[in-house]
Structure 1
Amino acid sequence: MTFRVTLQPADRQFNVARDEPILAAAIRQGIGMPYGCRDGACGSCKSRLIEGRVLHGAHQAKALSAAEEDAGLILPCCATPQTDCIVEARSVPGAGDFPILKMPSRVISIERAAPDVAVLTLQLPANQSFQYHAGQYIEFLLRDGARRSYSMANAPGRLNDPPAIELHLRHMPGGLFTDHVFGAMKAKEILRIEGPFGSFYLREESRKPIVLLASGTGFAPIKAIVERMQDLGLTRPTALYWGCRSKIDLYQQAWAEQAAASLPSLRYVPVLSEPRREDDWRGRTGFVHEAVMADLPDLSGHQVYACGAPVMVDAAQRDFVSRCGLPADEFYADAFTSELDKH
């Protein structure tokens, strides 16, 4: 049995199987909807149910509270329709542009960029044309059916030959996947991946100045976006703020400095929340999103792209909109939700 879902205001229609989440059906049929984690943890896909009835699967209260659900909001990533539905959601032009592929990948290298950060380079099959927007992510398909999501850190124009993607992984001690990456993983190991996913990528048609905001390994998709801007020759004024705990966590500081030197329109500001004495740090300190507000108190004409820990992304969204005049629909985010965050 299938139900008909109509997306407003785009007036797009698609079929959804009875036990299928609305978002999964949209992705399967190339319909662009906003989303991040795909499993009820981040709230990026939150939409309004105009007509019809849905049943929600397990999700976090911070992604959708009981009060929001009572007010008619839904999470399409874990909402299955029980009737035909009309859903109000921002359509995301380009989100369904590229086919989602399942494919093997081969580990080319594992570089320990910081004590708890690995830069993983994966070779893709030469016979499959893997396309994505800078900022999107892939998922590893693990043996027990679990999945782990990581953003591409290189722009799609920089896959090289043979094609390879770069991923930045933080070690989560006790984590099923990252314990393996930081322990037994060797070059030439084969990993199964699927992608691209996500609606986090640069809106290239805009002319607005840009704030790129990253914490920790949330730097990965931001790096891909900067490379994309370099490849397109974009000159939109851009400020890149990267927040980490201490100096050692700025694991690609030299790359960021070089990018700012090569792009006259790009300004780079690293911010440390807990600099150590041995860091001899003379740069900015504190919360990274507060450094943005100190420099740019008026964000009414900007676009913001934020990626990193959910607490940083949530605080930035709240404060930029309420205190700096950022239009709510010009805040684009990818909150990195670990398995720990989902429980």
Structure 2
Amino acid sequence: MSFQVIIKPSDRVFEVEDGSTVLDAAIDAGINLPYGCRNGTCGACKGQVLAGEVSYGEYFDSALSEDEKKVGKALFCCAQPLTDLVIECREVEGEGIPPRILTVRVEKLEKLSHDVMGMTLKLPSNERMQFMAGQYIEFLLNDGRRRAFSLANAPHDDRFIELHMRLVASGQFTQYVFNEMQEKTILRIEGPFGTFFLREESTRPVILVAGGTGFAPVKGIVEHALRQGLKRPMTLYWGARTLEDLYMDELPRQWAAENRLFRYIPVLSAPEPEDGWLGRTGLVHEAVLEDYPDMSAYQVYCCGAPQMVDVAHRDFQRHGLPKGEFFSDAFTFANPVAKIPA
């Protein structure tokens, strides 16, 4: 059995098989609905059900409240149709890239800091994975679980896949990566996923906000923008606890030195005395607001821990950021899909 879904206002139509979610079916149909975590945590896929009924699996109350459900709001990453649907939601500019399952080999493992591992994956010689800078892939584990990580490289550099993984004390997969995994290990991935990519049709100046390993997708976005010939002012704020946590600090400094339209502002929340830190301190989103008290003319891309992303979104809108100019990717824990937190 399948159900028909009509999207308003575009009137695009797609089918959802029984047991599938609205978002998964849209992705399979090449329709680019906004989303982030795909597990009911971030709320990026929230839209309106105008007609029809849906059921839900597990999701977080912070992403969809009971009051929102009563007025027809839905999380399309969790919503399964019980009838044909008419929904209203924003569609992302451009055609979606259908995800594919690929076999990859671990080409390189390199510690970027005490708790961040750089992983380079090699696809088969006759394969390439099409993606947009800032998207993510999911590892398909043998026990049926999935683990998702953002792509840190840009699409023009697609011979390999670059990932940045933070070691998580309770994270079974990252513990395996840090302590047991060997180069040449064979893994399966699926991707690309996500709508965290640069809206190239816009002319607004760009503010990038990264927390910890939230730098990974931002790196891909910046490298893509530079490759295309950066024409919009772009400022990166990278927040971390200590100097050591800015694990590739020399790279954005190089971008800033070589490109007059690019600025880099690192922000440490808890610098060590031995860091000798003379730069900005405090919360990274507050540093943005100190520099941009009026955000009405800007476009923001924010990636990191859910708390940081949520607070930044709220406070930036209070300072004039238009509703449709905030794009985010929140790193979350969840089952069966988990984004490893920054």
After TM superposition, is the score higher than 0.5? yes
| Aligned counterparts of 1:51 and 1:263: Cα–Cα separation in 2 | 50
| Aligned counterparts of 1:60 and 1:141: Cα–Cα separation in 2 | 23
The corresponding residue for 1:274 is 270
Q: Is the 8 A contact 2:27 2:98 kept in 1?
A: no
Equivalent residue for 1:209, pick from 202, 205, 208: 205
> Is residue 2:23 matched to residue 1:27?
no
The aligned runs of 1:107-118 (5 Å cut-off) are 107-118=106-117
Deviation at residue 339 of structure 1 after TM alignment: 3.7
Q: Secondary structure at the match of 1:218?
A: helix
| Aligned counterparts of 1:27 and 1:318: Cα–Cα separation in 2 | 28
The corresponding residue for 1:153 is 152
Q: Is the 8 A contact 2:39 2:334 kept in 1?
A: no
> Is residue 2:334 matched to residue 1:335?
no
The aligned runs of 1:135-214 (5 Å cut-off) are 135-159=134-158, 163-214=159-210
Q: Secondary structure at the match of 2:294?
A: coil
Per-residue CA shift, 1:10-40, capped at 9, x if unaligned?
2111111222110010011111100111111
The corresponding residue for 2:229 is 233
Q: Is the 8 A contact 2:57 2:79 kept in 1?
A: yes
| Aligned counterparts of 1:99 and 1:5: Cα–Cα separation in 2 | 18
Q: Secondary structure at the match of 1:252?
A: coil
Q: Secondary structure at the match of 1:307?
A: strand
Per-residue CA shift, 1:246-302, capped at 9, x if unaligned?
100000000110011122101100000111111110000001000000001111111
Deviation at residue 55 of structure 1 after TM alignment: 0.7
Q: Is the 8 A contact 1:171 1:182 kept in 2?
A: yes
The aligned runs of 1:193-342 (5 Å cut-off) are 193-322=189-318, 324-339=319-334
| Aligned counterparts of 1:225 and 1:4: Cα–Cα separation in 2 | 35
How many residue pairs end up in the alignment?
337
Q: Secondary structure at the match of 1:182?
A: helix
Runs of 4+ in 1 over 6 A off after TM superposition: none
- The letter for the 2-side match of 1:129 is R
Q: Is the 8 A contact 1:308 1:335 kept in 2?
A: yes
Per-residue CA shift, 1:274-333, capped at 9, x if unaligned?
1111111000000100000000111111110000000010001000001x1000110000
Deviation at residue 165 of structure 1 after TM alignment: 1.1
Deviation at residue 95 of structure 1 after TM alignment: 5.2
| Aligned counterparts of 1:37 and 1:126: Cα–Cα separation in 2 | 30
Q: Secondary structure at the match of 1:94?
A: coil
| Aligned counterparts of 1:185 and 1:334: Cα–Cα separation in 2 | 27
| Aligned counterparts of 1:334 and 1:66: Cα–Cα separation in 2 | 24
Q: 1:95 to 1:78 in 2, by over 3 A?
A: farther
Q: Unmatched 5+ residue regions in structure 2?
A: none
Q: Is the 8 A contact 1:49 1:72 kept in 2?
A: yes
| TM-score of the pair, normalised by structure 2 | 0.96
| Aligned counterparts of 1:26 and 1:326: Cα–Cα separation in 2 | 29
Q: Is the 8 A contact 1:33 1:95 kept in 2?
A: no
The corresponding residue for 1:36 is 36
| Aligned counterparts of 2:316 and 2:327: Cα–Cα separation in 1 | 12
Task: Report percent identity of matched pairs.
Answer: 52
| Aligned counterparts of 1:178 and 1:135: Cα–Cα separation in 2 | 21
Q: Is the 8 A contact 1:32 1:91 kept in 2?
A: yes
Q: Secondary structure at the match of 1:225?
A: helix
Structure with the bigger RCO (C-alpha within 8 Å, sep 6+) is 2
| TM-score of the pair, normalised by structure 1 | 0.96
Deviation at residue 338 of structure 1 after TM alignment: 2.5
The aligned runs of 1:53-132 (5 Å cut-off) are 53-94=53-94, 96=96, 98-132=97-131
Greater mean deviation of Cα atoms: 243-252 or 87-96: 87-96
Deviation at residue 164 of structure 1 after TM alignment: 0.4
